[in-house]
Amino acid sequence: MIKRNGILLIFLVFFLISCQGKGNKPAQDTSQRSEIIQPQKWWENLPRPIYSSLERIKVSQEWYLVYQLTDDTFAIYEPYQFEEAISYLLLGKETAILVDTGTGIGNLSKLVAELTTLPVSVVNTHTHWDHIGANHQFDTIACFDHPECIDKLLNGVDNARLHPSITGDSIWKPLPEELDPSSWEIPSVKPTELLEDGELIDLGGGRKLEVIYTPGHSPGSICLLDQKNRLLFTGDTFFPGPLYAYPEDVDIDLYRASIDRLNGRIEEYDYLCSGHNDPWVKSEVISRVSDAFDAIMAGKGDFKQDGNLRRYYFEGFDILIRTDMIKD
């Protein structure tokens, strides 16, 4: 009887484990991901040319490459995972802001401590996993005042959803020794501050960041305008690569309106500091993104198609969009 009960108990444990996370969005099997989203051996095109012109800062953590953009602005780059996430450390006189926290694969708080002794607050441009990964390593965390942003931070991300992002062609360098792939997760965090459109974040010394609400890529997305340095931190609203306009949480009309809003303020910034790939892009590209969306909706533009997904090609960026989202 003991043996039989033991077998039943083992079966029950395995059943419960298999059921965990079934209420969450399913993990994406990167081995089945379309080639027009993730080309095989994507890393063979690295390093990106922009990095040869930027000053690299030596740090102790091998997972990150750090580049100094201005005297008080650092790009923290993760080139060894497919997302090529970029976080930004912005220094003021009184405080520092960390724009997004990347994948969470490395120890970002330890790295940031090597770059500044100022108190550091996190500001999330949005709450996709590859921008909130190391939030839990910091005490002060802000996001836009939108229920979905708040919920995503509170829910965290479990291992089943994250594991495909560190296996197969999603990664091409060894993971940090302290990371256990079998248990890695993004823990739940509670935002300590909620941001509003037009709000100014004062870092001291005349450096302020204006919160610009730019929904579309995801609910609650924001950009941050550094008025002093004429920089726009765009998160995923723009980056020099395939703009993700196809996932289920994208609102294509809001996305286009947000690009048009940024285009209407293009005289206020000279460079875009994006959430992926390239941290230093001339501002003029925003006008071309607006034109590109117009062209797609008018049935124009060169593309490759896989099922109902199309990748349109433009100079300096692409747009990934579903065919059902294209409107006359």
Sign of the Cα torsion 42, 246, 157, 195 reads positive
CA dist., res. 270 & res. 280, Å (int):
10
Residue written as token pair 């990748």: 311
Residue 18 resides in a domain: no
The domain in which residue 255 lies consists of: 37-291
| CB burial readout 132-143, b (16+ within 10 A) else e | bbbbbbbeebbb
Q: What is the mean pLDDT of each run of 10 residues along the chain (328 residues)?
A: 37 37 36 84 97 98 97 98 98 98 98 98 98 98 98 98 95 96 97 98 98 97 97 98 96 98 98 98 98 97 97 98 90
Residue 302 resides in a domain: no
Residue 3 resides in a domain: no
pLDDT at residue 118 in the model: 98
| Domains of the chain: total | 1
Work out the angle at residue 247's Cα, subtended by the Cα atoms of residues 252 and 163, and round it to the nearest 5 degrees: 155
Residue 59 resides in a domain: yes
pLDDT at residue 312 in the model: 98
pLDDT at residue 267 in the model: 98
Residue 256 resides in a domain: yes
Residues 6+ apart with CB under 8 A from 235: 99, 100, 125, 126, 131, 214, 217, 221, 222, 223, 274, 275
pLDDT at residue 327 in the model: 82
Closest by Cα among 245, 246, 236, 244 to 272: 236
Residue 298 resides in a domain: no
pLDDT at residue 12 in the model: 36
CATH of residue 131: 3.60.15.10
pLDDT at residue 140 in the model: 98
Residue 282 resides in a domain: yes
3-class DSSP state for residue 154? helix
Residue written as token pair 């091409």: 172
pLDDT at residue 17 in the model: 36
pTM for the whole structure: 0.90
Which runs of consecutive H residues, i.e. helices, occur in 170-268? 252-263
pLDDT at residue 1 in the model: 31
3-class DSSP state for residue 322? strand
Cis peptide before 47 (omega within 30 of 0): yes
pLDDT at residue 32 in the model: 61
* 51-to-34, 41, 56, 66, 71 alpha-carbon distances in Å: 28, 20, 8, 10, 17
Residue 14 resides in a domain: no
Closest by Cα among 174, 138, 180 to 62: 174
Residues 6+ apart with CB under 8 A from 296: 312, 319, 321, 326
